[in-house]
Amino acid sequence: MKSFNIAVIPGDGIGPEVVEEALKVLAVIEEQENVKFHYQYGRLGGCAIDEDGTPLPEHTVQISKAADAVLLGAVGGPKWDQNPSHLRPEVGILGIRKALGLYANLRPAITYECMAKVSSLKEEVVAGVDLMVVRELTGGIYFGDKKRFTSEDGKETATDTLIYQEDEIDRIARKAFEIAMKRNKRLVSVDKANVLESSRLWRSIIEKVAKDYPEVEYSHMLVDNCAMQLVRAPKQFDVIVTENMFGDILSDEASMLTGSIGMLASASLSDGNFGLYEPIHGTAPDIAGKGLANPIATILSAALMLRYSFGLDQAAQRIEEAVETVLNRGVRTSDIAEDREKAIGTKEMTEQILSVLTGK
């Protein structure tokens, strides 16, 4: 029997609530595929600050490195917002991405047919959206030097450095072109090359890499225009490749094309099969502990894990189809409900998905 090691990092807020649901789905897949998943649990973010005195305990890095894949909830919350910068939960998530070399963050945004009317945008604008944001994940302004100081004229001052080296851009560009080759062979590279030197370097590397993928129709777009185009005419996009912060922002925006941020899964990859899988959303402090969170983003992240890290493509597809079937039946958590009175909770949504998956 094949077996896989999974590091499970529930995190904070709704993180543990949605990870618990994804694990229920994986338990069904174990039976159906005759495979075994071995779990090791680690702390990250706020809960790790409280328990271990650091947002990124060494134990969590070790179990993640030893695993075939990592399943993560989300980290952070108001409890730790006033902490000094090295003791913030977000240092944990950035640190683990860096420690595991996860430079490519894939964020697919697909609007299921029955969900087009749920989006805050017009149905005809979002129906049929199927795009992939490929976000550079271990470079850029989130990782550059940060400083806080009093300047010579006595003013409180802060700086964040946006730094990219050519090889960092080259590898994410190749990843994105490869993905475009397997999709509709259209790629838009998003930058701010009219202002930022780092974007001008980005653009020149994209141009070079594009020569190796002559079949891919590619173009450049400035990030402010892209933010607008995503809500004006999102179906023009197939693959979007962009740097870390732009990708973070644009993918939250893209999630609303699908109905809710609670729908968007992600895979963070390096060069091999190893990956970290997490919903794109955060810890949702406003609904944490209430049993209201939509578990679909995390369940679909587990499906991506089966596909990209374990090669269990059919199992991944069955999960995706089960999610779509449940949505087609009108089953809704409150974030995607047209009628909130009829919305169900986190666990009930999973039960519905499990029922389709098992046929029971």
Ligand X SMILES: NC(=O)C1=CN([C@@H]2O[C@H](COP(=O)(O)OP(=O)(O)OC[C@H]3O[C@@H](n4cnc5c(N)ncnc54)[C@H](O)[C@@H]3O)[C@@H](O)[C@H]2O)C=CC1
Binding stretches for Mg ion (CB under 5 A): 248
Query: From CA 306, how far away is CA 319, in angstroms rounded?
Result: 10
Rounded to a whole number of angstroms, the minimum distance from the CB of residue 34 to ligand COI is 34
Active site residue 142: yes
The answer to whether 192 touches 222, Cβ cutoff 8 Å, is: yes
Q: How far apart are CA 136 and CA 268, in angstroms?
A: 10
**Based on CB atoms, which residue is closest to Mg ion, 170 or 253?**
253
The DSSP bridge partners found for residue 275 are 69, 269
Annotated active-site residue 248? The verdict is yes
Report angle CA 259, 250, 194 to the nearest 5 degrees: 150
Q: Which of 26, 63, 93, 132 binds ligand COI (CB under 6 A)?
A: 93
Going by C-alpha positions, the residue among 53, 48, 54, 37 that lies closest to residue 15 is 48
Given the residues 103, 248, 277, 308, the one annotated as active site: 248
238 is catalytic: no
Question: Binds 56, which of ligand X, Mg ion, ligand COI, none (CB < 5 to 8 A, cut-off by type)?
Answer: none
Provide the binding-site residues for ligand X, judged by CB under 6 A.
Answer: 14, 18, 74-77, 90, 93, 261-262, 278, 281-287, 293-294, 297, 335
Report which of 71, 102, 222 is spatially closest to residue 172, judged by C-alpha positions.
102
Give first-to-last CA distance, the chain, whole Å. Answer: 25
Q: How many residues sit close enough to ligand COI to count as binding (CB under 6 A)?
A: 5
Active site residue 117: no
Question: Quick one: which segment of 86-94, 169-177, 310-318, 347-355 binds ligand COI (CB under 6 A)?
Answer: 86-94
Mark the segment that binds ligand COI (CB under 6 A) among 88-96, 151-159, 162-170, 346-354. 88-96
Binding test (CB under 6 A) with ligand COI, winner from 20, 30, 52, 90: 90
Q: How far is the CB of 340 from ligand X (least distance, A)?
A: 12
Q: Which residues are catalytic?
A: 142, 192, 224, 248, 252
